[in-house]
């Protein structure tokens, strides 16, 4: 649970010594319900709550809320016990409204329990009281031990320094004479302990390809939970089956494009509709990538296309759907589907216009010198002007993304219904290549990955289960 707004400690904590010794901390709590009522009837005071630690180690929690079977007598003391690090069996709970502590002469008192509000409104208050009491007990014990408080630990109702132990009860009276301690509440975490006890070592990553772009680092959660449950040091390696059925996939997209073609063979109007899943909605990046509910990564590459810029009458629509399949980015994210759709369409348009695909692109992209440059160089290196031998085919594509413009020519043949890949020519304008070998390696890598996706890479679902399981049915280019 997320803690409520920061509570000012000084506003609500008071301490005192009990008649028979021990530590008493009282706290007046402004809950949501009483705040509402105090607006209507100003001047009323809410019932206080108390934490009392007696010299015999009993811990009384006198709660400000009423138990009526909803379990608040358990939940609120749990919040204290968690922070106080005390023996749960020593806790006694009672209502505030009994005995001498009540003063009915000071006007109207409120004791309101309702609105499903208690755990939410009291979460930080009761934790704060437990944490404060623990710190004061530590301070008292540290004085007795003549050591700094940082050298002390607590365990289930005891303050410990090496072999020396003092029970909370033994130092409760001394603690009551100390000033109220400054404490900082721990952030609630799935770890079950505070994050300041966590050291994170970041190893060399190994391949990612998008799967590690996860915002909840599910594999770390896995490892931590297994380590906690087993009580052992662990190294977690997922099986390949767990990886392939591991719950996150590249989003599905569907493009529907209507184009009207002019007499010169070039589009007069272009209506582009993209339907698919959003990668970044409900992520910490949503604010930047999904402004106005449009996930930029869903249309990146159609939106801003130099072809569309050249067509006065064009429109791009995005329909974002949610399906049961969780998604994560895949290499190059949106451009992997938009580049495919755009370049396939340009080829179809060139074919309808009975024009050479390179020549058609040259005219279309005439105002984009970087596109023209990579297009021309790739065509030259691939010897585009020379006809292909019989049975051999080639295709060309040019696309800009992430600041680079890339053109590739692929040569294939089909033998016995199998696609044979003979050659890929790749030209990139990435601006200044800081490490040209690195750029080359990345481009080769992208080509292999893209071909793998084109030939294999299919994930199918049946009755909610991924049917593929390992590299025999989820194949890679070898």
209 forms part of the interface with other proteins (CB under 8 A): yes
Distance of closest approach, residue 227 Cβ to other proteins, in angstroms: 16
Residue 446 in contact with other proteins, rule: CB under 8 A: yes
Binding segment for other proteins (CB under 8 A), chosen from 119-127, 163-171, 292-300, 446-454, is 446-454
User: Could you say whether residue 249 binds other proteins (CB under 8 A)?
Assistant: no
Residue 447 or 455 having the CB closest to other proteins: 447
Residue 208: CB minimum distance to other proteins, A: 8
Of residues 251, 134, 258, the one with CA closest to residue 185: 134
Residue 316 or 382: which CB sits closer to other proteins? 382
Stretch that binds other proteins, among 30-38, 205-213, 246-254, 276-284 (CB under 8 A): 205-213
Min dist CB 435 to other proteins, Å, is 10
What region, left, alpha or beta, does residue 47 occupy, with left being phi > 0 and alpha being psi -120 to 50 degrees? Answer: beta
With CB under 8 A as the contact rule, the residue among 74, 260, 367, 470 that binds other proteins is 470
Among 264, 317, 380, 444, binds other proteins (CB under 8 A): 444
Burial class of residue 193, CB neighbours in 10 A (0-12, 13-18, 19+): exposed
Please tell me whether residue 240 binds other proteins under the rule CB under 8 A. yes
11 binds other proteins (CB under 8 A): no
Stretch near other proteins under the rule CB under 8 A, chosen from 190-198, 204-212, 269-277, 394-402: 204-212
Q: Which stretch binds other proteins (CB under 8 A): 125-133, 201-209, 262-270, 351-359?
A: 201-209
CB of 117 to other proteins, least distance (A): 51
Q: How far is the CB of 458 from other proteins (least distance, A)?
A: 16
User: In angstroms, what is the minimal distance from the CB of 439 to other proteins?
Assistant: 12
- Applying the rule CB under 8 A, the residues between 312 and 371 that interact with other proteins are none
Member of 194, 239, 315, 367 binding other proteins (CB under 8 A): 239
Q: Applying CB under 8 A, which part among 75-83, 287-295, 338-346, 470-478 lies near other proteins?
A: 470-478
The answer to whether 237 contacts other proteins (rule: CB under 8 A) is yes
Does position 19 interact with other proteins (CB under 8 A)? The reply is: no
Phi/psi at 94 (nearest 5 deg)? -150, 160
Q: Which of 275, 448, 453, 466 binds other proteins (CB under 8 A)?
A: 448
Of residues 182 and 437, the one with the C-beta less far from other proteins:
437
Stretch of 48-56, 135-143, 217-225, 467-475 lying at the interface with other proteins (CB under 8 A): 467-475
163 versus 201: smaller Cβ distance to other proteins: 201
* Per-position x/- string for 414-443, each x denoting binding to other proteins as judged by CB under 8 A, each - no binding: -----------------------x---x--
Q: Which residues of 357-387 are buried (b: 16+ CB within 10 A; e: fewer)?
A: bbebbbebbeebeebbebbeebbeebebeee
Contact window for other proteins (CB under 8 A) among 10-18, 90-98, 200-208, 389-397: 200-208
Residue numbers of the site for other proteins (CB under 8 A)?
A: 204-209, 237, 239-240, 437, 441, 444-449, 470-472, 476-478
């Amino acid at each position: 649970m997320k803690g409520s707004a920061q509570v000012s400690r000084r506003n609500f904590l008071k301490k005192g010594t009990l008649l028979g010794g021990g530590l008493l901390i009282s706290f007046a709590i402004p809950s949501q319900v009483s705040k509402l009522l105090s607006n209507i009837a100003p001047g009323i005071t809410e019932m206080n709550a108390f934490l009392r630690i007696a010299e015999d180690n009993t811990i009384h929690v006198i709660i400000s809320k009423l138990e009526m079977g909803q379990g608040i007598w358990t939940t609120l003391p749990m919040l204290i016990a968690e922070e106080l690090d005390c023996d749960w069996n020593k806790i006694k709970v009672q209502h505030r409204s009994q005995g001498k502590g009540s003063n009915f002469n000071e006007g109207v008192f409120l004791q309101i329990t309702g609105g499903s509000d208690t755990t939410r409104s009291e979460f930080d208050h009761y934790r704060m009281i437990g944490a404060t009491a623990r710190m004061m007990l530590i301070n008292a014990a540290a004085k007795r031990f003549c050591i700094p408080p940082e050298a002390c630990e607590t365990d289930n109702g005891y303050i410990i320094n090496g072999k020396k132990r003092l029970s909370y009860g033994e130092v409760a009276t001394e603690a009551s004479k100390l000033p109220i301690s400054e404490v900082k509440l721990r952030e609630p975490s799935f770890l079950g302990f505070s994050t300041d006890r966590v050291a994170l070592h970041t190893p060399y990553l190994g391949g990612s390809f998008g799967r590690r772009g996860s915002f909840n680092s599910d594999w770390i959660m896995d490892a931590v939970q297994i380590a906690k449950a087993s009580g052992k040091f662990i190294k977690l390696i997922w099986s390949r089956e767990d990886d392939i059925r591991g719950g996150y996939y590249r989003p599905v997209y569907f493009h529907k494009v209507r184009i009207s073609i002019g007499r010169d063979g070039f589009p007069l109007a272009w209506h582009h509709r993209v339907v698919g899943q959003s990668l970044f909605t409900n992520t910490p990046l949503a604010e930047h990538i999904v402004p106005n509910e449009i996930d930029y990564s869903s249309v990146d590459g159609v939106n801003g296309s130099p072809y569309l810029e050249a067509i006065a009458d064009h429109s791009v629509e995005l329909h974002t759907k949610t399906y049961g399949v969780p998604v994560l980015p895949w290499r190059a994210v949106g451009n992997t589907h938009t580049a495919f759709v755009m370049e396939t369409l340009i080829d179809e348009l060139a074919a309808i216009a009975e024009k050479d695909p390179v020549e058609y692109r040259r005219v279309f992209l005439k105002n984009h010198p970087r596109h023209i440059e990579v297009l021309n160089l790739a065509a030259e290196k691939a010897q585009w002007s020379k006809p292909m031998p019989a049975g051999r085919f080639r295709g060309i594509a040019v696309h800009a993304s992430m600041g680079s413009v890339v053109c590739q020519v692929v040569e294939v043949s089909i033998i016995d219904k199998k696609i044979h890949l003979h050659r890929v020519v790749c030209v990139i304008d990435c601006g200044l290549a800081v490490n040209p070998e690195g750029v080359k390696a990345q481009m080769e890598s992208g080509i292999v990955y893209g071909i793998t996706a084109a030939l294999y890479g299919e994930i199918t679902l049946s009755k909610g289960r991924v049917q593929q399981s390992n590299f025999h049915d989820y194949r890679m280019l070898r």
